[in-house]
Amino acid sequence: MKRSLLVWIWLIIPALAAAFHFGPGQAALGRDRAAEFLSAARRAETDEQWAAAVAAYDRAIDALPATGPTRSRLRILQARSEARIHAGDLPEAIEDFRDLLAKAQESGAGAELEASLRESLASAHYHAAWLMRLEGAERSEWTAQSDEARQHFRWLAENAPAGSAGVREGHLKNLEATLRLAQMDLSELQGLPLPKKCSNCSNCSQKCRSQKESRQQPKSQKKDARGAGQNVRPTGSGS
């Protein structure tokens, strides 16, 4: 009886090991690999190698288990989009943040993450308005960006958690800065140093126009466009 039991144990252990390896073990391995890529992304950010940082974030996202927490995935995608801004993809990052905020709201990821994503989106709109003014965009174009930033910063200030006066004050300061941006003379804006995170950004106005036209296309045309250009990536896509 003991020998039969030992044989049975000897036979079942490899099966259990295999089940763990291809089940929970794979998920654990994926999380470990994701953590390694996240560390690589942060090192690249420290060295201001933004394209490399975006690529590392992409690999971290791919390594995450499909059943992993939505909140973790959204946080990584948010960091990726922030790196995209530094890499020169500000309009693309705006689209990223808009999509991430919608996903956070749909999935119930929590008020803290939603507020963080909204703040990222507001800041991106603010910087887009700044750049578009410098590029000579039509007033209606850059004010559309500043209006978006203003609305989001106002929402954040009005919905700041109770007892977080400092957070609310920060959002109000950002709101005031957005209003000043819209009111100041262009010559005054030209005399200010360009925000460091936007130093690699260019053609912001044209990219925003293209995105607006894309959003206004009928769904059937959007599908055709995606199919025709499915292997094309935005310039500097290393948000």
Q: Tens of pLDDT along 173-212?
A: 999 999 999 999 999 999 999 999 999 998 999 999 888 8
Q: What is the pLDDT of residues 130-153, one digit of tens each?
A: 999 999 999 999 999 999 999 999
**Both structure tokens of 222:** 């959007």
The better pLDDT of the pair 116, 214 is held by 116
How many C-beta neighbours within 10 Å does residue 12 have?
Answer: 10
pLDDT of residue 188: 96
Per-residue pLDDT band for 237 (boundaries 50, 70, 90) equals: very low
Average pLDDT over residues 7-32: 54
Q: What is the pLDDT of residues 21-65, one digit of tens each?
A: 445 555 567 688 989 999 999 999 999 999 999 999 999 999 988
What value does the mean pLDDT take over residues 67-79? 87
Per-residue pLDDT, 65: 82
Residues 88/202, Cβ–Cβ less than 8 Å: yes
Q: Is the pLDDT of residue 20 over 50?
A: no
Q: What confidence score (pLDDT) does residue 19 get?
A: 46
pLDDT of residue 86: 97
Q: What is the pLDDT of residues 88-120, one digit of tens each?
A: 999 999 999 999 999 999 998 899 999 999 999
Q: In the predicted model, is pLDDT for residue 222 greater than 80?
A: no
Question: What are φ and ψ of residue 161, in 5° steps?
Answer: -60, 145
Residues 6 or more apart from 136 whose CB is under 8 A from it? 205
How far apart (Å, rounded) are the C-alpha atoms in residues 104 and 100? Answer: 6
* pLDDT score of 21: 46
Quick check: 128 and 165 in contact, CB under 8 A? no
Rounded to an integer, the average pLDDT of 166-173 is 95
Q: What is the pTM of this model?
A: 0.78
Give the chain's radius of gyration (CA, Å): 23
